[in-house]
Amino acid sequence: MRRLRIDDSRSILTRLPIAVSYKKIPVQKPGPDEVLINVKYSGVCHTDLHAMMGDWPIPTKMPLVGGHEGAGVVVAKGELVTDLELGDKAGIKWLNGSCLACSFCMQADEPLCPKALLSGYTVDGTFQQYAVAKAAHVARIPAECDLAAVAPVLCAGITVYKGLKESGARPGQHVAIVGAGGGLGSMAIQYARAMGLHAVAIDGGAEKGESCAALGAAAYVDYTTSVGDDFVRDVRKAAAPDGLGPHAVLLLAVAEKPFHQATQYVRSRGAVVCIGLPAGAHLSAPVFDTVVRMLTIKGSYVGNRQDTQEALDFFRRGLVKVPFKTAGLSELQDVYQLMREGKIVGRYVVDTSK
Ligand SMILES: [Zn+2]
Ligand SMILES: [Zn+2]
């Protein structure tokens, strides 16, 4: 069996200052409330690169197996697990486990649990052939779903779907999606459309405009050609028919500037939902406008178990498709390198058997 460990050994062979190492490690045994999943495919998320690079204020486990979009098959389970059978398709997501007893868990806000276990961050993740997770939190993947194609839904899909729910936008209303041409954005456009919302895609360049239109965006605003006051006016106008602005804004961008612009064009009574995590960024908004236009500014972070099943069901019904390329798990370092250089269109999914 081949397994991958991410450690902090320096390599002169790669341009990234930190390299992954690829090696055999023992298979973990599932605890009484856990399942062991034979991971077939795992999506590669920007968070995995941040985890390896130590970019975030919370330390990771060391040594660490990264990965949190793992799709596979249940091959062993603890004695308390009664609602998953061996052979069932299942997914390991960012939230690997939580206490299920705190006030957040009791209200289905388990991502906020102080004892949350995070796949590929505080516990070993899915860049390996066999990974364990708490049975309560494992995604139930419908039998008819392709495991490679569904993998990116387990983080990217759940995250944007939850953000759209959190925005409060209702069918027939407009949602601006900032960073619509990226991996999260392309899924957000499709979820928005499937939920009966009109997506106003915002990104840079004509090529991204074409891909957004092909995915079903109602309008596209190119920030490279529409700047300053024009940009605000164009976004508002794109949220037809009254030109008063989108009912909600989903901020998926990895730059700080869009986070400051959103309150200028969101519709009065509208919501600005932050999802992207530009490093070290801060958010600012004029207090006067926020008050007299009754704006809501909020964050949205992954999703709970119910959000997970809903996001998967949109995929099962063919309403959301994720453009992806596959690579061998042994090629993960190359995938990270492409990610670092911003050269990935869509998403990479690694095949753990290669
Ligand atoms: Zn992720
Ligand atoms: Zn809890």
CA of 153 to the centre of ligand 1 (A): 10
pLDDT at 266: 97
CA of 93 to the centre of ligand 1 (A): 8
Q: How confident is the model over 29-77, as pLDDT tens digits?
A: 999 999 999 999 999 998 999 899 888 888 899 999 999 999 999 999 9
Judge whether residue 354 has pLDDT over 80: yes
pLDDT at 78: 98
CA of 31 to the centre of ligand 2 (A): 18
Residue where the block lists tokens 């200052």? 17
Ligand nearest to the CA of 98: 2
Asked if 199 and 192 count as a contact pair (C-beta separation under 8 A), the reply is yes
CA of 227 to the centre of ligand 1 (A): 31
Q: Do 146 and 10 share a domain, yes or no?
A: yes
> Which of 121, 87, 128, 119 lies closest to 4 in space, CA to CA?
128
CA of 117 to the centre of ligand 2 (A): 10
Query: What value, to the nearest 5°, has the Cα angle with vertex 252 and ends 251 and 255?
Result: 90
* Domain at 174, CATH number: 3.40.50.720
Ligand nearest to the CA of 121: 1
Q: Do 189 and 329 share a domain, yes or no?
A: no
Q: CA 45, CA 58: separation in Å to the nearest integer?
A: 17
Q: CA 89, CA 78: separation in Å to the nearest integer?
A: 17
CA of 92 to the centre of ligand 1 (A): 11
Q: Do 149 and 171 share a domain, yes or no?
A: no
Could you check whether the bond before residue 63 is cis, i.e. omega within 30 degrees of 0? yes
Q: CA 17, CA 270: separation in Å to the nearest integer?
A: 43
CA of 99 to the centre of ligand 2 (A): 4
CA of 129 to the centre of ligand 1 (A): 19
Boundaries of domain holding 127: 3-155+303-351
Neighbours of 228 (CB within 10 A): 8
Q: Do 241 and 271 share a domain, yes or no?
A: yes
Calculate what percentage of the chain has a pLDDT beyond 70. 96
* Domain at 330, CATH number: 3.90.180.10
pLDDT at 19: 85
Count up the domains in the chain and report the number: 2
CA of 111 to the centre of ligand 2 (A): 8
Q: Do 21 and 122 share a domain, yes or no?
A: yes
Q: How far apart are the first and last CA of the chain?
A: 10
CA of 137 to the centre of ligand 2 (A): 12
CA of 115 to the centre of ligand 2 (A): 6
Which residue, of 284, 299, 314, is where some domain finishes?
A: 299
Q: Do 126 and 201 share a domain, yes or no?
A: no
CA of 94 to the centre of ligand 1 (A): 7
Angle of helix 183-194 relative to helix 206-215, nearest 10 degrees?
30
pTM: 0.92
Q: Do 287 and 247 share a domain, yes or no?
A: yes
Who wins on pLDDT, 257 or 94?
A: 94
Q: Do 102 and 71 share a domain, yes or no?
A: yes
Q: Biggest alpha carbon distance in the chain?
A: 62
Helices (H) and strands (E) in the chain, counts: 11, 17
Q: How confident is the model over 136-145, as pLDDT tens digits?
A: 999 999 999 9
Q: Do 8 and 151 share a domain, yes or no?
A: yes
pLDDT at 15: 67
CA of 132 to the centre of ligand 2 (A): 19
Q: Do 82 and 150 share a domain, yes or no?
A: yes
Q: Do 88 and 195 share a domain, yes or no?
A: no
CA dist 193 → 96, 119, 196, 236 (Å)? 29, 30, 5, 19
Q: Do 274 and 150 share a domain, yes or no?
A: no
CA of 326 to the centre of ligand 1 (A): 17
> Which of 255, 249, 258 lies closest to 299 in space, CA to CA?
249
HEC states along 58-120?
CCCCCCECCCCCEEEEEEEECCCCCCCCCCCEEEECCEEECCCCCHHHHCCCHHHCCCCEEEC
Calculate what percentage of the chain has a pLDDT beyond 90. 80
Q: How confident is the model over 193-250, as pLDDT tens digits?
A: 999 999 999 999 999 999 999 999 999 999 999 988 899 999 999 997 899 999 999 9
CA of 68 to the centre of ligand 1 (A): 6
